[in-house]
Amino acid sequence: MALNQHLQALIEKECSKAHTHALILRVQSGDGRVDYKCSAGDATPDTRFPIASIAKMFTATLIMQLAAEGQIELGQMVQNILPDVDLSGLHVVNDMDYGARLTIRHLLHQTSGLADYYESDLASNLKAGRNHPYGLKDVLQMTRALPPQAVPDRGRSYYSDTNFQLLGAVIERVTGQSFDVVLKARICAPLGLTQTGVLDGTDVGLPVYHEDRMLNIPRVLTSMGPDGGIISTLDEMMVFLRAFMQNQLFQPQTATQMRQWNKLFFPMQYGYGLMRIKLPLWMTLFRATPELVGHSGASGSFAYYAPEPDIYLIGTFNQTDAPRRPIGFMFEVLRMVAKHGRAG
């Protein structure tokens, strides 16, 4: 059986599991010898889909471009860039208010320790299909209502969508343009991406589900912007992922800087808007597994590069009830590609 038949059988098996309504996948090797795009369930391989937190890779790219141009500095305090945004009381630990001391690097590296506004009522409202728009002021209000995760610079990263909402505001303030306009001018246009951008309107492409509930949440997704509101296609995400990993969007030294890995939550590490997955040997019966670098999303979206086999993987389950499900699935895809290569 050919590799494409094996992969199609794999995603159909995966899609037959409970609460799985659609699955799309793109697999491509660096040399182009492996190049497969497929779908199962209620989807086609060319369907636009919400990329969720993979959007953070786009936001991080824009921040690093602005830093390379000298328009911002990563050590710069966010409050100085956003003087009219009240950050007081946003991040109080042991009676110490760190809000005004937060830097761009804190946000980008997820080392601010800020609470994650998504973990407020927003998460439950989203899963219930409540379609309410919100802005930065609302994000900060939701964040203040939650306990902080840690003081800044504790030596590890603490995942918070609030960080990237603030980075989006920084991008807009420095450039004088909306996040979507900057995204399209600096990333989409140079790469020829015409189907990628912040959701505008009500067509979310591939529907997002929570278990068996279809979520009609275009206003929520539009509000997420820099932390999770971008939609794209498998083909365009492949162009972006390859450009990102091949340093076409920034200098090699920038790529090295973005890969300063901190512990996040098992089995992930975090860099600058970038995740790393490397399973320990005790989890894999002492068989080495490839390193994966990229980003995942709460909707089961994934965009990763495995450097050792030189394989790119992109796709989504568009299902919010098991956001870590893609991890095992990606390793299964890589095992299948490797097995086929050995057989060939």
pLDDT at 182 over 70: yes
Q: Which residues contact 259 (CB under 8 A, 6 or more apart)?
A: 271, 272, 274, 276, 293
23 CB-contact burial (10 Å; exposed 0-12 / middle 13-18 / buried 19+):
buried
DSSP 67-82: HHTTS--TTSBHHHH-
pLDDT at 125 over 90: no
Q: Which residues contact 10 (CB under 8 A, 6 or more apart)?
A: 332, 333, 336
pLDDT at 286 over 60: no
Neighbours of 31 (CB within 10 A): 8
| 54-190 under CATH 3.40.710.10, yes or no | yes
- pTM score of the predicted model: 0.96
pLDDT at 272 over 60: yes
pLDDT of residue 340: 84
pLDDT of residue 322: 81
Q: What percentage of the chain has pLDDT greater than the value 70?
A: 97
In angstroms, rounded to a whole number, what is the distance separating the alpha carbons of residues 336 and 14? Answer: 14
Q: If you average pLDDT over residues 220-243, what whole number do you get?
A: 97
In angstroms, rounded to a whole number, what is the distance separating the alpha carbons of residues 304 and 268? Answer: 12
pLDDT of residue 121: 85
The CA-atom distances, in angstroms, between 233 and each of 51, 155, 239 are 9, 36, 10
Domains of the chain, residue spans: 3-50+231-343, 54-190
- The tokens describing 134, both together, are 């919100």
Buried b (16+ CB within 10 A) or exposed e, 212-221: eeebebbebb
Asked if 258 contacts 265 with a C-beta cutoff of 8 angstroms, the reply is no
Using alpha carbons, select from 9, 3, 23 the residue that is nearest to residue 325: 23
Residue type, 227: D
Peptide bond into 267 cis (omega under 30): yes
pLDDT of residue 126: 78
Residue 343's pLDDT band, with cuts at 50, 70 and 90, is low
Residue 282's pLDDT band, with cuts at 50, 70 and 90, is low
Residue 274's pLDDT band, with cuts at 50, 70 and 90, is very high
pLDDT of residue 123: 80
- The tokens describing 148, both together, are 């902080």
Give φ, ψ of 142 to 5 degrees. -65, -40
pLDDT of residue 71: 98
